[in-house]
Structure 1
Amino acid sequence: MPAASRLVILDRDGVINHDSDAYIKTLGEWVPYPTAIQAIARLSQAGWTVAVATNQSGISRGYYDEATLAEMHGELHRLVSEAGGCIAHIAYCPHGPDDGCDCRKPLPGLLEQVREALRLDTLSGSWMVGDSLRDLQAGERMGCRSVLVRTGKGSRTEAKGIGLEHALVFDDLAAFVDWLLHQTQA
């Protein structure tokens, strides 16, 4: 069983792969940041557990279906595995903003799913990495430490400066992983 203090939870779009205001609707549109794939592998190799928590309202909006999402996540697993890493769990919310679910970030339901899937008592002390305020808010509700990356919508989120009092800010996932692995090896 992983320890919460050795868990990194990642948002997907804008953290692991390029984001699009028009949604990532096909496997062909899902373009990972090469440095992010390597960063996930490096975390795994250093004994960290990596999970993903991602809002995917494009499903409820009819832009793509769960089978297409499964193809994207299958490719993510494959690339990370080829790089020598592992993603322990991917939780996703297929709902739209007005669907009244409890899993759409900033609500903590997706992170609760991660906690349950990994059989953890708490997520307190783990890391939540995102490119939007709602990612950080979901993590903070579960006791996670917050990291904002400037990729995706992160630079826009940083420019607003609201709600980032407790967040560390990095250029991208790879820069955060460099910092984290240095901190834990020191």
Structure 2
Amino acid sequence: MLIILDRDGVINKYDGSYICSVDEWQPIPGSIEAVARLCKAGHRIAVATNQSGIARGFYGTDVLDAMHGKLEKLLEVHGGSIGFIAYCPHHPDDGCQCRKPLTGLLKQIRDHFKLDDLKGAVMVGDSRMDLEAGVAEGCQSVLVRTGNGKDTERHLKSRSIPGASVAIHDNLSAFADAFLSGPGLVKNG
């Protein structure tokens, strides 16, 4: 199965500030191991991440590539890998089609893996934008409470996402545990 992960707040620590250097990019405890467990179980992993810090001039694609290189090296140590990373370098006002909640990043992932659609895939995120993008492409949506997740969870209680059943887990590790234990992805953890 294809599992699509948001990056900031899902894989790495995120407090709302831009992550502008490799040193600032720090994984959430247990997230690297969680991705590796999913890989070892035969699942393909992709990342879909908004990175407007590039358009804002806070960092360049070389720094972003180095952050992703750090992610790949950490995963390799644990026997995991990312099959594809799609990122939106645009400013929110640029009018692009890739910035979540639009689905351009997910379509890049779909095309990379040569899939007809993303029905049956899983989208794991910490924001409403992640969940909406996943729902629009037919993915099962999963919210983690790390990053912006707790705020997103509070907002979902008052305004659900039409057509979506959202599973909620404390973090990526808890999601991986539940997912790998068998059916019941939609159960909240």
* TM-score band, normalised by shorter chain: over 0.9
Q: Which amino acid aligns with 1:163?
A: S
1:115 is aligned to: 110
1:177 is aligned to: 176
Q: Deviations over 1:18-64 (max 9, x none)?
A: 01322000001000113010000000000000000000000001110
Other structure's SS at 2:67 match: helix
Q: Which amino acid aligns with 1:183?
A: G
Q: Equivalent residues in 2 for 1:14-163 (5 A)? A: 14-161=9-156, 162-163=159-160
Considering only aligned residues, what root-mean-square deviation do their CA atoms show, in Å? 1.2
Q: Which amino acid aligns with 1:180?
A: F
| Runs of 5+ unmatched residues, structure 2 | 184-189
Q: Deviations over 1:141-184 (max 9, x none)?
A: 11000000000000010011223551000000010110000015
Shift of 1:120: 1.0
TM-score (norm 1): 0.94
Other structure's SS at 2:85 match: strand
- Which of structure 1's runs of 4+ aligned residues deviate more than 3 A? none
More divergent stretch after superposition (109-118 vs 164-173): 164-173
Contact preservation (8 Å) 1:45, 1:85: yes
**Distance in structure 2 (CA, Å) of the matches to 1:81 and 1:40:** 10
Q: Which amino acid aligns with 1:171?
A: D
**Distance in structure 2 (CA, Å) of the matches to 1:55 and 1:16:** 14
> How many residues matched?
180
Q: Which amino acid aligns with 1:106?
A: P
More divergent stretch after superposition (174-183 vs 18-27): 18-27
| Runs of 5+ unmatched residues, structure 1 | 1-5
Contact preservation (8 Å) 1:54, 1:93: yes
Contact preservation (8 Å) 1:133, 1:163: no
Shift of 1:119: 1.0
TM-score (norm 2): 0.92
Other structure's SS at 1:183 match: coil
